[in-house]
Amino acid sequence: MSTNRHPIEQEELMAYLDGELSADQATEALSHLELCPECQTLAADFRGVSQELLAWEVESPEVGISSELNAALGERLQKRQAAKVTSSRLENRVITSRWVWAGALAIVCVVVGLKLTLTSHNRSEDRSTAYPSMASIEQYLMPDRDAEIALARSAAPEAISSDAKILVLGWRGYETADEGKNGFVCMVERSWMSPFNSADFWNPKVRVPQCFNPAAARSILPLTFKRTEMVLAGLSKAQMIDSIKAGFDNKELPRPEPGAMCYMMSRAGYLNDALGHYVPHLMFYFPLTDKSSWGADLRDSPVTLNPQFRDGPEPITEFVIAVGKWSDGTAAPAM
């Protein structure tokens, strides 16, 4: 392959497929790859090799914590506990002479008070800067494929999710782990499905199990694939927003189909640092709609407007209705 004809080297193309290029380089590689049949063949070869290697699976026995490991663990935790007790005793000795140190403590209190005020101020600043950029890709992946499958299925009651198609996130995007047979698709969304201005957009802890009904699998899920593909290619938020807008303009991305909805009833999900597991709920998707048409966000209304796509590039309105039980049938806290 001549570098005169190709703006990227073959090694760079491989690095692009591995998600190892910077955003600018990835954009250049992607642009070239879309137009160059020769590079498409090479990319297919690389993907083929990776696929072949997957054949070599190693069946893991149900390895538990061995007695030796358990003993070492117990010893370590015991030592740790002993260290805590010692530290606590030392602390008590200091406290017994409290009258002597009363004056000094008063000063300490003033200093601590000031520090707490400052910390509280800093925390509110940290909230918007905790995840300023994308973490390494492996932080968004789940090393245990079976755990991701189980988490995906937990989005909906078993009667739905046991026959659903299951997707898991791999290095090159979402992969099918189970074909399913009822038209529903369960998967675990990552932080980049948050609003673009969300403080959690790059939060690698986010795991959002969702189970889309067939209409949503056809018309909403492509948005997840689109964002994921761009994130893994290293595109900036601005580039992603532009690309999504263009996708809707040129009809590459679909509008929500009538009846599109999804289940979010997992008790094991993690929506973001503020909401944690949140509450079990259902989501309904529409082309841009005034929230008053559903009475959303009105006093005592069970319907709320989800901010996921609000003011975003996707022309979608999403309503949320909380339900009383998690997918496993256990009672959920009130919203």
Partner 1 sequence: MTSDEALMLEFQGGSRAAFEELFARYRRPLYGFFGRRLNNPERAEDLVQETFLAVIRAASRYEPRALVRTYLYGIALNLLAAERRKFSTSSTLGQSVTEPKTDGTPEYVLWVRQAMERLDSPDREILMLREYEQLSYSDIAELLRIPVNTVRSRLFRSRLALKSYLESEAKTNRGVRASAWEPHPRRRGMQ
Which residue number, 84 or 121, has a Cβ lying nearer to partner 1? 84
- Could you give phi then psi for residue 107, rounded to 5 degrees? -65, -40
Q: Which is nearer to partner 1, 174 or 309 (CB)?
A: 174
User: Does residue 4 bind partner 1 (CB under 8 A)?
Assistant: no
Contact set for partner 1, span 183-242 (CB under 8 A): 204-205, 207, 225
Q: Is 171 in the site for partner 1 (CB under 8 A)?
A: yes
| Binding of partner 1 by 45 (CB under 8 A) | yes
Distances 297 to 51, 95, 223, 319 between C-alpha atoms, Å: 48, 52, 25, 10
Q: Which is nearer to partner 1, 243 or 304 (CB)?
A: 243
Of these, 126, 163, 175, 242, which contacts partner 1 (CB under 8 A)? 175
Closest CB 48 distance from partner 1, rounded Å: 5
Residues contacting partner 1: total by CB under 8 A: 60
Instruction: Examine residue 1 and tell whether it contacts partner 1 (CB under 8 A).
Output: no
Q: Residue 234 or 304: which CB sits closer to partner 1? A: 234
Residue 280 or 296: the one with the smaller Cβ distance to partner 1 is 280
The yes or no reply on residue 58 touching partner 1 (CB under 8 A) is yes
In the list 69, 90, 104, 110, the residue contacting partner 1 (rule: CB under 8 A) is: 69
* Number of other residues whose CB lies within 10 A of the CB of residue 323: 16
Taking the least distance from each CB to partner 1, the nearer of 44 and 298 is 44
Among 7, 84, 116, 158, binds partner 1 (CB under 8 A): 84
| Binding footprint of partner 1 on the chain (CB under 8 A) | 10-11, 14-15, 18, 20, 45-58, 60-61, 63, 65-66, 68-69, 72-73, 76-77, 80-81, 84, 136-139, 141-144, 146-147, 167, 170-177, 179, 204-205, 207, 225, 268, 270
